[in-house]
Chains A and B, each alone.
Chain A
Amino acid sequence: MPKKESKKNNGVFILKERIQETDDVAILKFFPQGGKNFSFRPGQFITVCFTDNRCYGQGKPYSISNCPGDEFLAIAVKEIGRFSGALHNLKIGEKVKITKPGGYFYPDEQMKNLVFLAGGIGIAPFYSIINDCFKRGVGGKNLALFYSSKTEADNVFSKELNELAEKWRGFKIIYILTRQEKDRRNGNREFQRLNAKILKKYLKNLNNKHYFICGSIEFVNDLWKELKNNKVKEDNIRVESFY
């Protein structure tokens, strides 16, 4: 039965669930007050605004981390400043204003070879895209996820992602740990900053692939330059910077 979808530009949502993923990252699940959720493409973002004067009425964009079809919108919030701190302090039952999802950060149907570069909390939109892909049938797609974080303790969604990687042969995850001591355990792990050399090691060939980069301004800029310097076409790259 097709779920009714909201046609408005923004709506009031209520925080009903909160999951603490790591020390500073929490997943917040917002349910629409009116019962109608927004429709969205996995990878898109919403703008969240407080209903009172907190943060001067400004809103900040957050990537949706759950799948279309769910009755709620989930965002992964890393506590780094005033706004995210206020989100972390939200109590269950409190309301926020959320705008219609937007953005162009999603793979088109015909893209077969995907490379996702996630920096820290930049994993959020990819989690939605990967889960959705798996739900609807992977259809011969190949996906390489390079997930960069400081240490394994900072990883979010890794348990679920690892489970998916076991079920989907075309999906591989390479963990980039920039502040962790090198060890000899198995698994695709690298212990320095993500660069073209590492990409080539796992992808063999950088051509004929579609790249999606999501993370901090610095992370996205660095990899954007790396890819361009290695002759990847600008049209084959989509980016989303968190700021």
Chain B
Amino acid sequence: MRNIYFDHAAATRIDPRVLKRMAPYLTKRFGNPSSLYSLGREARAAIELSRKKVARVLNVNSEEIIFTGSGTESDNLAIFGVAKAYSDKGRHIIVSKIEHKAVLEAAKKLEKEGFEITYLKVDPKGLVDLREFKKALRPDTILVSIMYANNEIGVIQPISQIAEIIQKFRIGRSIFHPFFHTDACQAAGALSLDIGKLGVDLLTFSGSKIYGPKGVGCLYKAKNIKLEPMIVGGDQENNFRAGTENSALIVGLAEALELAEKLREKESKRLMHLRDYLIKNILERVPKCRLNGHPLKRLPNNINISIAGVEGESLALMLDKHGIFVSTGSACASFDLAPSHVLLAIGLTPEAAYGSLRLTLGRNTTKMEVDRVLKILPKIVYKLRNISPSPFARPS
């Protein structure tokens, strides 16, 4: 029985078409893109073509694309880069409470260095409160970072509306800041990344979630924004990110993004259909179970549920025995024993966070796989509930 992989938000398998494009750059076309001779120029050409491809999908200029080593690195570069470059204009940054740790930890680090951070609350469905956001904006705000779509609960933020609010604020005060950054690692391939329509100044995405290789990311940065680089040395990536470029990974990233964009509309529809079918049936077949996050403003492939009375790690390990791979927001499964900060931010009690499961569908997910999970999950919940103290009251 083949494994059922329902954790595409964590990692995706490299598409064979992407792998084919990458392969020569792992073997015969190994030149350093900065070298003078043809072997180097060949690699350089591949990278610049990749840059063009990415720019085309984002509807921006090539020079505004910076390749990095991961989504986390891109997030860090955006946040630290802007903070350090514009600290003379202000030291206030706004992020949401449900940002990825790559953004939150960067913000916390800046806080220790004297920056002031506003952590915007979200409503029980995960959406940022736009009125609160307007109130939080100050003349000394230099950066706003709000993720396009959340990796845990899939909620999609109103990015263009937020961009509009920021633009009005900037014009109203005749200043050019705050800059608007969005982490689009989960949104890529599912939602449009057209920068013109989104209105952001910086955008992050990576290869690992779009059927491309791991170890490569991208930061879109609007032309005139200054950025203090984190990795210094050579002058690669326009002096924004030193280090010999990994041609294979960059080629893979661009190819994966192009492919994902081509398939986006059809795939999103197909996945949304499967997702809603899965959600509806889980809620019907598993008693005392709830969906986390917004039911509609949600990534087409994301299902996040809390199941009362059972704990996430046990659920995930039992599913693993049946060849079904999912993830959980439970503390027991995390290294630092902390429950998911996203689930707590949307108002879940710690118990509900412990009993949470995240299933994220993908390109190869079939209805047959979904049906098999629907068959097995209720049995596992029943088994674990049988050994769970219920209903958490002390016996008299």
Contact surface of A with B, Cβ cutoff 8 Å: 53, 56-58, 82
3 closest residue pairs by CB, A with B: A56-B350, A57-B350, A56-B339
Give B325-348 interface residues, CB cut-off 8 Å to A: 331, 336, 338-339, 344
B331 contacts across to A, CB distance below 8 A: 56
Within the complex, the shortest CB–CB distance from A99 to chain B, in Å, comes to: 13
A57 contacts across to B, CB distance below 8 A: 350
Q: Once bound together, how far apart are the Cα atoms of A107 and B105, in whole Å?
A: 46
A53 contacts across to B, CB distance below 8 A: 344
Could you write out 10 A-B pairs with CB less than 8 Å apart?
Answer: A53-B344, A56-B331, A56-B338, A56-B339, A56-B344, A56-B350, A57-B350, A58-B350, A82-B336, A82-B338
Interface of A is mostly: helix
B350 contacts across to A, CB distance below 8 A: 56-58
Q: Once bound together, how far apart are the Cα atoms of A53 and B347, in whole Å?
A: 11
Q: Once bound together, how far apart are the Cα atoms of A57 and B349, in whole Å?
A: 9
Contact surface of B with A, Cβ cutoff 8 Å: 331, 336, 338-339, 344, 350
Q: Once bound together, how far apart are the Cα atoms of A57 and B348, in whole Å?
A: 12
Within the complex, the shortest CB–CB distance from B180 to chain A, in Å, comes to: 29
Q: Once bound together, how far apart are the Cα atoms of A82 and B335, in whole Å?
A: 14
Considering only CB atoms, which chain A residue lies closest to B353 in the complex? A56
B338 contacts across to A, CB distance below 8 A: 56, 82
A58 contacts across to B, CB distance below 8 A: 350
A82 contacts across to B, CB distance below 8 A: 336, 338
Considering only CB atoms, which chain B residue lies closest to A56 in the complex? B350
Q: Once bound together, how far apart are the Cα atoms of A82 and B338, in whole Å?
A: 10
Considering only CB atoms, which chain A residue lies closest to B349 in the complex? A57
Output the residue of A56, A57, A58 with the most chain B CB within 10 A: A56
Within the complex, the shortest CB–CB distance from A177 to chain B, in Å, comes to: 31
Q: Once bound together, how far apart are the Cα atoms of A56 and B352, in whole Å?
A: 12
Q: Once bound together, how far apart are the Cα atoms of A94 and B339, in whole Å?
A: 25
Within the complex, the shortest CB–CB distance from A135 to chain B, in Å, comes to: 35
B344 contacts across to A, CB distance below 8 A: 53, 56
Q: Once bound together, how far apart are the Cα atoms of A56 and B354, in whole Å?
A: 11
A56 contacts across to B, CB distance below 8 A: 331, 338-339, 344, 350
Considering only CB atoms, which chain A residue lies closest to B354 in the complex? A56
Considering only CB atoms, which chain B residue lies closest to A58 in the complex? B350
B339 contacts across to A, CB distance below 8 A: 56
Q: Once bound together, how far apart are the Cα atoms of A58 and B353, in whole Å?
A: 13
Within the complex, the shortest CB–CB distance from B106 to chain A, in Å, comes to: 18
Within the complex, the shortest CB–CB distance from B343 to chain A, in Å, comes to: 10
Q: Once bound together, how far apart are the Cα atoms of A198 and B336, in whole Å?
A: 36
Within the complex, the shortest CB–CB distance from B263 to chain A, in Å, comes to: 40
Q: Once bound together, how far apart are the Cα atoms of A58 and B331, in whole Å?
A: 11
Within the complex, the shortest CB–CB distance from A233 to chain B, in Å, comes to: 34
Considering only CB atoms, which chain A residue lies closest to B394 in the complex? A9
B336 contacts across to A, CB distance below 8 A: 82
Q: Once bound together, how far apart are the Cα atoms of A82 and B334, in whole Å?
A: 15
Within the complex, the shortest CB–CB distance from B354 to chain A, in Å, comes to: 10
Q: Once bound together, how far apart are the Cα atoms of A57 and B338, in whole Å?
A: 11
Within the complex, the shortest CB–CB distance from A147 to chain B, in Å, comes to: 29
Within the complex, the shortest CB–CB distance from B396 to chain A, in Å, comes to: 14
Known: A56-B344, A56-B350, A57-B350. 7 other contacts (CB 8 A): A53-B344, A56-B331, A56-B338, A56-B339, A58-B350, A82-B336, A82-B338
Within the complex, the shortest CB–CB distance from A80 to chain B, in Å, comes to: 13
Within the complex, the shortest CB–CB distance from B196 to chain A, in Å, comes to: 40
Q: Once bound together, how far apart are the Cα atoms of A222 and B331, in whole Å?
A: 28
Q: Once bound together, how far apart are the Cα atoms of A56 and B331, in whole Å?
A: 10
Q: Once bound together, how far apart are the Cα atoms of A110 and B341, in whole Å?
A: 50
Q: Once bound together, how far apart are the Cα atoms of A82 and B339, in whole Å?
A: 14
Within the complex, the shortest CB–CB distance from A212 to chain B, in Å, comes to: 27
Q: Once bound together, how far apart are the Cα atoms of A58 and B344, in whole Å?
A: 13
Considering only CB atoms, which chain B residue lies closest to A57 in the complex? B350
Within the complex, the shortest CB–CB distance from A78 to chain B, in Å, comes to: 18
Q: Once bound together, how far apart are the Cα atoms of A82 and B331, in whole Å?
A: 14
Considering only CB atoms, which chain A residue lies closest to B338 in the complex? A56
Q: Once bound together, how far apart are the Cα atoms of A218 and B350, in whole Å?
A: 29
Within the complex, the shortest CB–CB distance from B272 to chain A, in Å, comes to: 33
Q: Once bound together, how far apart are the Cα atoms of A6 and B319, in whole Å?
A: 46
Considering only CB atoms, which chain A residue lies closest to B331 in the complex? A56
Q: Once bound together, how far apart are the Cα atoms of A57 and B336, in whole Å?
A: 15
Considering only CB atoms, which chain A residue lies closest to B336 in the complex? A82
Within the complex, the shortest CB–CB distance from A108 to chain B, in Å, comes to: 29
Within the complex, the shortest CB–CB distance from A53 to chain B, in Å, comes to: 8
Within the complex, the shortest CB–CB distance from A172 to chain B, in Å, comes to: 39
Within the complex, the shortest CB–CB distance from B340 to chain A, in Å, comes to: 10
Q: Once bound together, how far apart are the Cα atoms of A207 and B331, in whole Å?
A: 43
